[in-house]
Structures are given as C-alpha cells and as structure tokens.
Amino acid sequence: MREIMSKKPLHKIIYDEIVDKIENQFYKVGDILPSESEMEKLFKASRTPVRQALKQLEMDGFIYRYQGKGSFVANYKPIGQWTTMTGFKELYKEEWKKISARTIEVNKIQSPYYANLLEINSDEEIIHLKRVRFFNGEPIIYLEHFLTPELPLEIFKKDSTFISIDQLLNEEQNIEFTSIKEEIEAVSANKDVAETLKIEAGIPVLNSTRVSFDSLLKPIDVTVNFFQSQKWKYRIQFNKQ
C-alpha cells in the first residue's frame, strides 16, 4: 500500500485506488473486496471515508453490496464517465422566462421511508415541501421535497417562488450537489397530483424520485416529481468527462 500524501479527499483516494485495481484486474468480476475494517487498516482511514468510497463505487457501477456479506466486483464497468448533473435552468434555458414556481406547503414530518433514503434515524423529523412548477402559467410539475433536518426551515419559507432547490441551497447554505440517484416510472395520477396539475385522476403521469448528494456523498434532498407529460417533456443531458 503506497503512502497517502495528497490534497485529494481521503474517500476519493480510496475510490481511485480500488477503481485502478478493478480496471487492472487485481480485483476480478465476482471477487469480494476487503471488509470495511480491513480497508480502514489498509488505508489508515476512519470508517466514514471508507463508506463514502464504497457508496460511490456502488453508484458508479463498479461494485455491488450484500448486507452482512460484503462488497463484490460487478460485471459492469463504465466506458468513460458520463454525468447528468446539468441544472434545471441550463436544461430548459430556452424556456426559462416562461417557467415559474410556487411553494404550497412547508412543514416537518416523520417518514421512516424518506428518513431511510436520507440515511438518518427513522423517527427523526424531516423537512417536507410541496411545490408546483408552471409553464406559461399552467401547472406542469407537482413536486415534493424531503430534506435533511439539519437545514434551517426558514430558508424555504422566506421565498415561496424559487424555481431550483439546487440553486437555493447553493446560495443559502453553500451546498453543491455532486451526485444524484434517480428512478423514473409511469404512474397513475392520484387525487392530490390530479388537482394540482388540473388533470383527471387516474391518467398516466411520469414520476421520478431523485436523491441528491453533497460532496461528502451525504444525501441532502429527495425530490419526488410528477410530470404533466402531455404538456411537458422530461429532459436529460449527458456530458462525457
């Protein structure tokens, strides 16, 4: 093990070394990686950067993990790194002047499901926002945000018309999202979604659940979107690094 002398964050050093060993087949597909405690000794690191590195390796498709069994090298290795971290404003810059938003509700709730996604105790209260985005004055996206309780509730109350929560958190808390995990599916609009988007209950809408992580790979926000897909297209931009 080489001496770790670098200005890079320790979790990034661990990540890079494991990726290098996977790509050079020191660790082959199906091999089990050293345990977390073994990595702590190997890299002279605490548990936190080791877990951050493993989480990023899993998100990037290099490994998969089984609870109680360990981390294994996955069969999939990305050819080049692709990112979709382009912001909402950049993706829709041509339509930006026609887009507006409004917060419907701000409160704190208990939700074991979303607390688990935020990696906090299930009985902790989390910040909950209900919002709607408009295009030319018509509702197109119904959103719910579930945020870490460490954030001050006041920043979400003082401006009900912010459009991008990424931008708000960056300006107010100096938080930058560096990684996301998102699932997309078609669902039937429930009563709340239908009333907000002014559509009939039961018709298909596009639903996405996005977990956004900061530079330490800590989950900060879970955003659940419901898109009025007859009037609005969900757009993704990939950039090759």
What is residue 97's predicted lDDT score, i.e. its pLDDT? 64
Give residues with Cβ within 8 angstroms of 5, minimum separation 6.
none
What is residue 230's predicted lDDT score, i.e. its pLDDT? 72
Angle formed at CA 24 by CA 80 and CA 44, multiple of 5 degrees: 100
What is residue 71's predicted lDDT score, i.e. its pLDDT? 93
What is residue 144's predicted lDDT score, i.e. its pLDDT? 97
Q: How many Cα neighbours within 13 Å face the side chain of 225?
A: 23
Q: Does domain 92-227 have CATH number 3.30.950.10?
A: no
Instruction: State the 10-residue block means of pLDDT for the chain, 241 residues long.
Output: 58 91 89 94 92 87 85 67 47 61 96 95 96 90 96 94 91 91 90 93 91 92 90 60 51
- CATH architecture of the domain with residue range 10-73: Orthogonal Bundle (1.10)
Give residues with Cβ within 8 angstroms of 218, minimum separation 6.
119, 148
| CA distance readout (Å), 227 to 139, 144, 149, 187, 188 | 9, 12, 27, 10, 11
Closest Cα partner for 207 from 176, 234, 237? 234
What is residue 2's predicted lDDT score, i.e. its pLDDT? 43
Phi, psi of 206 (to 5 degrees): -85, 130
Let me know: does 77 contact 18? Beta carbons within 8 Å. Answer: no
Domain ranges (residues) in the chain = 10-73, 92-227
Let me know: does 125 contact 150? Beta carbons within 8 Å. Answer: no
Q: What is the pTM of this model?
A: 0.68
Angle formed at CA 113 by CA 189 and CA 152, multiple of 5 degrees: 95
What is residue 80's predicted lDDT score, i.e. its pLDDT? 41
